[in-house]
């Protein structure tokens, strides 16, 4: 990098036809410019300039070196300007992987809003919960929910999803509304994992070995069975807002909640293109808005 900087400084000296003019153009002392050009000459083992008290002249080797340096410096400047433009106006294709139901219900409207902000960005969406190999799979960004396995990938926390208990009015009419966490043991509970439900209120935590006829691994199916009156489900609050508003689901034990689920943006490296960085920043902003 120092060599490239000194090459750029050498080009400035020739353009200004003086050390003083170059020093003023780049904002450094005249003595520093002179010293760095001398160091450049020593590094390449060739005199580039003939210096007099009035002017500087390129040697034959210096003229050749200047032509090469000028093209290199111009290309570097152009690359910098193009990358700066990409940062200001990101564009290109983002290959994004996300869980199916979370993507359809929660992320779809956020992506629509993001697409309005950045009209030059296109999307290739992979809706799957499976673990991906970001080195071999053609994916730029992966969104995943819950505890992540150990890996060498970069996981950025975006926010959390609050979970609560819900059931349909029909189920509650037939079986009654539980009045305490312990009462859940007498109900059909729709379970994503064969594990106890852990619930919190303002003062305590309880663990309940709930039971039910259904054990599944898909949030969309879990929600659907709850809507069909098959039991009480632990669902993400933000994903059933419309069901609540239209009375298709009711909150159960409103003073109690399950542990929030973390949401992560996963990339292969910390150095991501501008198009991916602005999407990560946008999603983090949306997850953490008041």
The CATH number that applies at residue 125 is 3.40.190.10
Do 141 and 269 fall within a single domain? Answer: yes
Residue 154 and residue 267 in one domain: yes
Are both 231 and 169 inside the same structural domain? yes
Residues 62, 185, single domain; the answer is: no
Task: Report the first-to-last Cα separation within the chain, whole angstroms.
Answer: 44
Based on the fold, state whether residues 167 and 182 are members of the same structural domain: yes
In the structure encoding, which two tokens stand for residue 281, read together? 């920043």
CATH number at residue 169: 3.40.190.290
Which residues in the chain show pLDDT less than 70? 1, 53, 81-87, 130-137, 150, 290
| 73 shares a domain with 18 | yes
**Domain span holding position 34:** 2-85
**Residues 59-102 pLDDT 10s:** 888 888 888 888 888 777 777 766 666 667 788 899 999 988 88
Give the CATH number for residue 19: 1.10.10.10
Residues 137 and 168 in one domain: no
Number of folded domains that form the chain: 3
**Helices within the chain (DSSP H only):** 2-16, 19-26, 30-44, 60-88, 100-101, 108-117, 169-175, 219-227, 241-245, 274-287
Q: Domain check: are 110 and 237 in the same one?
A: no
Q: How does pLDDT run across 149-186, given as a tens digit for each residue?
A: 767 778 899 999 999 999 999 999 999 999 999 999 99
């Amino acid at each position: 990098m120092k060599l490239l900087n000194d090459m750029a400084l050498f080009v400035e000296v020739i353009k200004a036809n003086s050390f003083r003019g170059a020093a003023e153009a780049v904002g450094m002392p005249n003595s520093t410019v002179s010293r760095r050009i001398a160091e450049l000459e020593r590094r390449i083992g060739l005199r580039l300039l003939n210096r007099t008290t009035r002017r500087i002249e390129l040697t034959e080797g210096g003229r050749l070196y200047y032509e090469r340096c000028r093209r290199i410096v111009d290309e570097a400047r152009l690359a910098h300007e193009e990358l700066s433009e990409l940062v200001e106006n990101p564009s290109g294709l983002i290959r994004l992987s996300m869980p199916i139901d979370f993507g359809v219900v929660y992320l779809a409207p956020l992506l629509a809003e993001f697409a309005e902000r950045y009209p030059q960005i296109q999307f290739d969406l992979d809706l799957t919960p499976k673990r991906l190999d970001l080195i071999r799979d053609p994916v730029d960004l992966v969104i995943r929910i819950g505890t992540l396995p150990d890996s060498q990938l970069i996981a950025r926390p975006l926010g959390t999803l609050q979970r609560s208990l819900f059931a349909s009015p029909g189920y509650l009419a037939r079986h009654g509304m539980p009045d305490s966490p312990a009462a859940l043991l007498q109900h059909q509970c729709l379970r994503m994992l064969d594990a106890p439900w852990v619930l919190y209120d303002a003062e305590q935590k309880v663990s309940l070995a709930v039971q039910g006829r259904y054990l599944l691994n898909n949030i969309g199916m879990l929600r659907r069975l709850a809507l069909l009156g098959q039991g009480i489900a632990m669902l993400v609050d933000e994903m059933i807002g419309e069901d609540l508003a239209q009375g298709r689901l009711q909150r159960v034990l409103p003073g109690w909640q399950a542990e929030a689920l973390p949401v992560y943006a996963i990339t292969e490296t910390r150095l991501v293109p501008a198009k991916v960085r602005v999407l990560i920043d946008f999603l983090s902003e949306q997850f953490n808005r008041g």
